[in-house]
Structure 1
Amino acid sequence: MHDQPILKVRNLNRQFGAGCRHCINAEDRSLTKNYCESCGTVYACQNISLDLFAGEILGVVGESGSGKSSLMKCLYFDSEVTSGEVLLDDEELRGQNLFEVSSQKKRYIRNYKYGMVYQNPVHGLKMNFSSIGNIAEKLIAAGNRNVGEMEKIGKRLLETVHIPIFRMKEEPRHFSGGMQQRVQIAKALSNNPPVLFLDEVTTGLDLSVQADVLDLIKTIQREFGISMVVVSHDLAVIRMLADRTIVMLNGEIVEQGLTDQILEDPSHKYTQQLVYSLL
């Protein structure tokens, strides 16, 4: 791992609602969990700062409603931030707050610099396209026009994620959940992005299929050296994948550190509850 973060997030805030005198001031907010009872504003992400280093898997863990998926949506530009800064260590984009660039540039970043694997494959795949067609779609979005080259890349990626080549013309809607996730991973990898986001990718899969998908993610990380942010409510997933972990509760980071350290000696009461519920 390098000393310089590849992705740097500072003071990210995402709120739903305008806020009122009881909650607008971050210092003396009066909230129930992350909800203002006076005006109904929800503070999904509160002052989130994190670093992702080259070749690292960063885990983000927390219960449902903790803000981890909101964080992911903001980072991948699926959702607008209220305020904050994100910097990518990239020659073309260095020094620019990516939350403030044009929508055209955001599209460019999603096509070239980021990959995303959603919890529900329906959000990441076109279910009525062939599997290889889904990969080609991402390549075309990034400006590739060479059909032969796209087919070669598509086949290689499907092999990488263990989808049989004879099924490459099949539509993902005919596949099992685990296979759909693997096609999604192949599509996300198609432009060799330096950063990959994975949002609850094993939720709803059978345990044996979960193990296969997690194993695949580990292998890809080793082979491609991609930096990953992995969101999960499941500490067993985080334990297997993440080098470092951030624990979120009510839209805030309550603890962060090396995964082993957090799981063996959690300091925050909420993390302790999470860890002990695993034992």
Structure 2
Amino acid sequence: MHEEPILRIDHLNKTFGDGCAHCQQSETYEMKINYCPYCSTTYACQDISLELYSGEILGIVGESGSGKSTMMQCLYFDMDVTSGGAYIKDTEVEEENLFELSSQKKRYVRNYKYGMVYQNPVHGLKMNFSSVGNIAEKLIAAGNRNVSEMEAISKRLLESVHIPPYRMKQEPRNFSGGMQQRVQIAKALSNNPPVLFLDEVTTGLDLSVQANVLDLIKNIQRELGISMIVVSHDLAVIRMLADRTVVMLDGKVIEEGLTDQILEDPQHAYTQQLVYSLL
């Protein structure tokens, strides 16, 4: 029996601009990459379809501007899509297009089904709240009102991402980049989401700190069996984490397959270039 995906994305499109007669006839007119020089419309995501299965890590790799972070922001409802669908395995919203849900139902999906770790911790954390307070904020959004229970959950999660007890009441603005990312991961895990999004989580971190964060992600995935979508421009990160990999270029998926297969036998010229630059 074929396994049902936990999250399915169908023909996702995200366009910045209204388009014009030139770029809307793209069969006959070649756009400059994914940008129309006539009307300045950018086609950030073009007809993206993906499936994420239970307990797997799906890697999305591509250079800056390939549309991978835009796709993540659309999935997490930080941005409206232009067209397309997303479907999650959940009795509350079974077979409903997530992009077309009411704002109340979108909040439900964000609070119970999704966790998000942003490239820049400023987008995922309130820098002037304590670390415990940041996690409590997510728990309150999901309806928890028991203060001592929220404090216990927050401390347990911060411990699991190696934040020392004496720093748990401190504000993330006083932390290093690596520690801020670990607090974000703890916050994202607070409601046991079945799906976790990680957007360029190691960018800008020292190599040793990167390795610690990647180890932490791998251990969390092993212990909790969460499904993850990991976005990176760094194939080394994808190689360490991902079971399957999708390669994006100019807003399109150009290659996908098992990570080992893509690393050992890349088909597309761009993927070959990425792989050989890693060797």
Shift of 1:30: 2.4
In 2, distance between residues paired with 1:85 and 1:30?
Answer: 26
1:70-124 alpha-carbon deviations (Å, 9 max, x no partner): 1111000111100000000111111100000011211121111100000000000
Counterpart AA for 1:139: L
1:10-63 alpha-carbon deviations (Å, 9 max, x no partner): 000000010111112454452111001111110000000000000000000000
Identify unmatched segments of 5+ residues in structure 1.
none
1:226-247 alpha-carbon deviations (Å, 9 max, x no partner): 0000000000000000000000
What is aligned with 2:150? Answer: 150
In 2, distance between residues paired with 1:108 and 1:23?
Answer: 37
What is aligned with 1:251? Answer: 251
In 2, distance between residues paired with 1:251 and 1:67?
Answer: 5
Query: How is 1:206-245 mapped onto 2 (pairs within 5 angstroms)?
Result: 206-245=206-245
In 2, distance between residues paired with 1:172 and 1:161?
Answer: 14
Identify unmatched segments of 5+ residues in structure 2.
none
What is aligned with 1:264? Answer: 264
In 2, distance between residues paired with 1:111 and 1:191?
Answer: 7
In 2, distance between residues paired with 1:138 and 1:87?
Answer: 23
In 1, distance between residues paired with 2:148 and 2:29?
Answer: 57
Query: How is 1:166-185 mapped onto 2 (pairs within 5 angstroms)?
Result: 166-185=166-185
Query: How is 1:105-116 mapped onto 2 (pairs within 5 angstroms)?
Result: 105-116=105-116
What is aligned with 1:32? Answer: 32
Aligned residue pairs: how many?
Answer: 278
TM-score normalised per structure 1: 0.98
What SS does structure 2 have at the residue aligned with 1:190?
coil
Query: How is 1:41-80 mapped onto 2 (pairs within 5 angstroms)?
Result: 41-80=41-80
Query: How is 1:181-220 mapped onto 2 (pairs within 5 angstroms)?
Result: 181-220=181-220
In 2, distance between residues paired with 1:27 and 1:102?
Answer: 35
1:141 and 2:141 matched: yes
1:130-171 alpha-carbon deviations (Å, 9 max, x no partner): 000000000001100001110111011011101111211000
In 2, distance between residues paired with 1:89 and 1:28?
Answer: 39
Root-mean-square deviation (CA, aligned residues, Å) is 0.9
What SS does structure 2 have at the residue aligned with 1:8?
strand
Counterpart AA for 2:239: R
Counterpart AA for 1:190: S
123 and 76 in structure 1: CA distance in 2 versus 1, 3 angstrom threshold: same
